[in-house]
Amino acid sequence: MKAVILVGGEGTRLRPLTVNAPKPMIPVLNRPFLEHVLDYLRRYGINDVILSMGYRSEVITNHFGDGRDFGVNLLYVHEETPLGTAGAVKNAEQHLDGTCFVFNGDILTSLDLGAMLEFHRQKKSMVTISLVPVEDPTAYGLVELDDDRRVQRFIEKPTWDRVTTNLVNAGTYIVEPEVFRYVPPKLYYMFEHGLFPVLLQTGDPMYGYPSNCYWIDIGTPQKYLGLHRDLLTGRAETVMPGKRLKEGVWVDAECDIDPTAHLVSPVVLGKGVAIGPHSTITGPVVMGDGCRVGRDSVVEDAVIWRETRVGNSVTMKTCVVGEGSQIDDHCWITGGAIIGDHCLVGANNKMEHAIRIWPGKSIGPGTITF
Ligand code: GTP
């Protein structure tokens, strides 16, 4: 059975992390996010994958090629202008040969695809939507089901007095290709606001598949950090990279950890990472290959991409730093700050309050304080 993964979005909410790479290519545990998604599909025997491409597609094709090295057959379908989620699958229609899975390409889940497929077949459904419960339904588009789990209604961000369910669309669908006859070709068209409401009117069987699976989308920097926290603390399942140095600390080859440095789990360090004297790395922290931290620095609750240099007496807490950046001495990078690729942050800068620095920026010493 084939799967279509939607990977064409611009990932605007994740900028500046998505300026140089599309969202599916940003590193999670030091590997492109999409590798984790393909691992998941392979576990269910799904090896034929169509990637529906748009923004920065060349970064994806250069890394994955025909997919052979990743245990899958990849077919790339490009769109000249964004076609939206349903329009993008319509654009790949000629490659579909029966029931298929469709995934938003920014979601990691433990959803049982086998059980969902069985449900879809048993109900003779045309579209089955995976659903998860949320604590605050007023922030989401809700999907109301009847007792048989057939979709009755979509309710967009209701006030509390209109809340009749806590189930939201979890971004995984099983579809019968016939439904794409309702989708206009080469036009921007969404599942949520286009095809699904149409199916309610036509009466084609559309079902919801609720489950309590793990589910997160990496659409915002907060969720990107949240996914790392979940993976590192075992809330979400994965295989840790590198060698287990001690409980909760995984270190790749050739790391140089000073004997006076302190690693507090959970921590993942890529190949060749160096941690200087008296520095403390308090997890959840992930550092990419070739990162270096000087002396007396503190890094906590952070994701730092490959080849980034951190100076002496730097404090980094709840932040993301892109690849090849340099953070000089006595900087303070906290409070959800996001620093893009190849930035130079001079000494004594204080970056907080979810500040976002675009790739390639050079910030002189002591320029930014709050
Ligand atoms: P934001 O700009 O931050 O909203 O991110 P996004 O562009 O990725 O949009 P969103 O998170 O709503 O998209 C959900 C999934 O659908 C992501 O995996 C996107 O890559 C994908 N997607 C969104 N729009 C399109 C599109 O027009 N074409 C294709 N092929 N994929 C899309």
Give me the DSSP letters along 312-326. Answer: SS-EEEEEEE-TT-E
Pair 44, 191 in one domain: yes
Pair 59, 164 in one domain: yes
* 33 within a domain of the structure (yes/no): yes
Pair 210, 252 in one domain: no
Q: Measured in whole angstroms, how far is the alpha carbon of residue 326 from the centre of its chain?
A: 25
12's tokens:
């605007």
Using an 8 Å Cβ cutoff, are 180 and 83 in contact?
no
52 CB within 6 A, ligand 1: yes
**292 C-alpha vs ligand 1 centroid, how far in Å?**
34
* 110 within a domain of the structure (yes/no): yes
Q: Which pLDDT does position 254 carry in this prediction?
A: 86
Pair 164, 258 in one domain: no
The last residue of a domain, from among 155, 183, 218: 218
The last residue of a domain, from among 218, 252, 280: 218
**21 C-alpha vs ligand 1 centroid, how far in Å?**
14
Pair 97, 191 in one domain: yes
- From the alpha carbon of 13, which atom of ligand 1 is closest? 3
Would you write out the chain's pLDDT as a tens digit for each of its 370 residues? 999 999 999 999 999 999 999 999 999 999 999 999 999 999 999 999 999 999 999 999 999 999 999 999 999 999 989 999 999 999 999 999 999 999 999 999 999 999 999 999 999 999 999 999 999 888 888 999 999 999 999 988 888 988 889 999 999 999 999 999 999 999 999 999 999 999 999 999 999 999 999 999 999 999 999 999 999 999 898 888 888 888 899 998 889 999 999 999 999 999 999 999 999 999 999 999 999 999 999 999 999 999 999 999 999 999 999 999 999 999 999 999 999 999 999 999 999 999 999 999 999 999 998 7
300 CB within 6 A, ligand 1: no
* 193 within a domain of the structure (yes/no): yes
124: left (phi over 0), alpha (psi -120 to 50) or beta: left
22 CB within 6 A, ligand 1: no
Q: Count CB-CB contacts under 10 A for residue 8.
A: 27
Pair 265, 183 in one domain: no
Pair 18, 158 in one domain: yes
Q: How many independent structural domains does the chain possess? A: 2
342 CB within 6 A, ligand 1: no
- Protein residue with least CA distance to atom 28, ligand 1: 8
Pair 125, 262 in one domain: no
Pair 265, 213 in one domain: no
Q: Which pLDDT does position 35 carry in this prediction?
A: 97
* 225 within a domain of the structure (yes/no): no
* 254 within a domain of the structure (yes/no): yes
Residue 105: give its domain's CATH number.
3.90.550.10
Please, which residues have CB within 8 angstroms of residue 122's CB and are 6 or more apart in sequence? none
The phi and psi torsions of 101 (rounded to 5 degrees) equal: -90, 145
Q: Which pLDDT does position 163 carry in this prediction?
A: 87
Q: Which pLDDT does position 270 carry in this prediction?
A: 96
* 233 within a domain of the structure (yes/no): no
- List the domain range (segments joined by +) for residue 338: 240-363
Pair 145, 60 in one domain: yes
Q: Which pLDDT does position 241 carry in this prediction?
A: 86
Give dist(CA 94, CA 214) in Å, integer: 33
Pair 266, 138 in one domain: no
Give dist(CA 358, CA 365) in Å, integer: 17
Residue among 306, 329, 333 at smallest CA distance from 318: 333
- 89 by DSSP, 3-state: which? helix
- Protein residue with least CA distance to atom 11, ligand 1: 219
Q: Count CB-CB contacts under 10 A for residue 15.
A: 15
The last residue of a domain, from among 218, 251, 279: 218
Residue 354: give its domain's CATH number.
2.160.10.10
pTM of the model: 0.94
* 369 within a domain of the structure (yes/no): no
The phi and psi torsions of 122 (rounded to 5 degrees) equal: -60, -40
Please name every residue paired with 340 in a beta bridge, in sequence order, or none if there are none.
Answer: none
279 CB within 6 A, ligand 1: no
Pair 101, 195 in one domain: yes
* 212 within a domain of the structure (yes/no): yes
